[in-house]
Amino acid sequence: MRRVIAKPVAAAIVVFARAITAVRAIWPNEGIPQGQCVYFANHSSHGDFILVWAVLPPSLRHRTRPVAGAEYWLKSSINRFIGRDVFDAVLIERDRDRRTRDPIEVMAEVIDSGASLILFPEGTRNQTDAQLLPFKSGLFHLASIRPDVQLVPVWINNLNRVMPKGEIVPIPLICTVTFGDVMQIEAGENKEVFLNRARRALLDLSPKHPGGDQ
pLDDT in tens, 98-152: 888 999 999 999 999 999 999 999 988 888 888 999 999 999 999 999 999 999 9
Q: Is residue 199 part of a domain?
A: yes
CA dist 187 and 159 (Å) reads: 36
- Confidence at residue 182, expressed as pLDDT on a 0 to 100 scale: 97
Within a domain: residue 213?
A: no
Q: Are 108 and 175 in contact (CB under 8 A)?
A: no
77 lies in some domain = yes
- The CATH number that applies at residue 151 is 3.40.1130.10
The DSSP line for the chain is -HHHHHHHHHHHHHHHHHHHH--EEE--TT-SPPS-EEEEE--SSTTHHHHHHHHS-HHHHTTEEEEEEHHHHTSSHHHHIIIIIIS--EEE---GGG-SS-HHHHHHHHHHTT-EEEE-TT-S---SSSS-PPPPSHHHHHHHHSTTSEEEEEEEESHHHHS-TT-SSPP----EEEE---B-PPTT--HHHHHHHHHHHHHTT-TTSTTS--
Amino acid 191: pLDDT:
97
> Is residue 214 a part of any domain in this protein?
no
CA 57 – CA 69 distance, rounded (Å)? 25
Q: What is the mean pLDDT of each run of 10 residues along the chain (214 residues)?
A: 84 88 92 94 86 92 92 89 92 86 96 97 87 95 97 87 55 84 96 98 84 45
> Is residue 99 a part of any domain in this protein?
yes
Return d(Cα 67, Cα 72) in angstroms, integer.
12
Whether 48 is in a domain gets the answer: yes
**Residue 99 sits in which domain range?**
2-203
pLDDT at residue number 214: 38
User: In the chain, how many domains are there?
Assistant: 1
> Does 210 fall in a domain?
no
pTM: 0.88
Q: Tell me if 123 is assigned to some domain.
A: yes
